[in-house]
Amino acid sequence: MQINLICSNQLRKLLTETIESRGLSITPNARLSFVEKGFDLPEQGLAVIFDYQSLDDLSDFLGLLNKKPENIKNIIIGRRQDSETFEIISYEDIMYFEAEGNYVHCITNKDNFRVKNKLYELESTLCEQGFIRISKSLLVNIMNITEIIPWFGSRLLLKLKNKNEVEVSRNYVREFKEFLEI
């Protein structure tokens, strides 16, 4: 991101270092300007007016500008099974992850992708996103379950939006029910 900095020479050195350390750059024609109180405002764009006493607040604001959007974290990269191409997959499109041998597959509504993560890594990072382990080799997205059916041997059968069916093994039924509060 580019920032126009309009301030005294004393503050310019300090702010230039702070701004550039956050991966931002200073450009006179930028649409966002930081303007020290008492200096002329630019004719175009957005201006943030600050004074010497509010430098800490300005530094916090700079940190927010450099922060990645939260929704960028809601994706995973998968390699198509039938080619060498990669695709960005949104969590909401994922039905489940399945471990098979040394590989983990990401099953979506229409495709099957191989991902680099191990199933236990996905389980720990995706728990808050609505994914839960249902067997030794499966991690399912609860948002894509359409039906839960009691099954033989104290197991559960889950019907998914993509018409696939997966079983919650006996060892994971209690955790699954607690997760869904049923």
List pLDDT tens digits, range 24-64.
889 888 888 999 999 999 988 888 898 888 888 887 887 77
Identify whether the C-beta of residue 133 lies closer than 8 Å to the C-beta of residue 174: no
Identify whether the C-beta of residue 31 lies closer than 8 Å to the C-beta of residue 46: yes
| Amino acid 118: pLDDT | 95
How confident is residue 140, by pLDDT bands cut at 50, 70 and 90?
Answer: very high
The closest of 27, 30, 33 to 6, measured between CA atoms, is 33
How confident is residue 6, by pLDDT bands cut at 50, 70 and 90?
Answer: very high
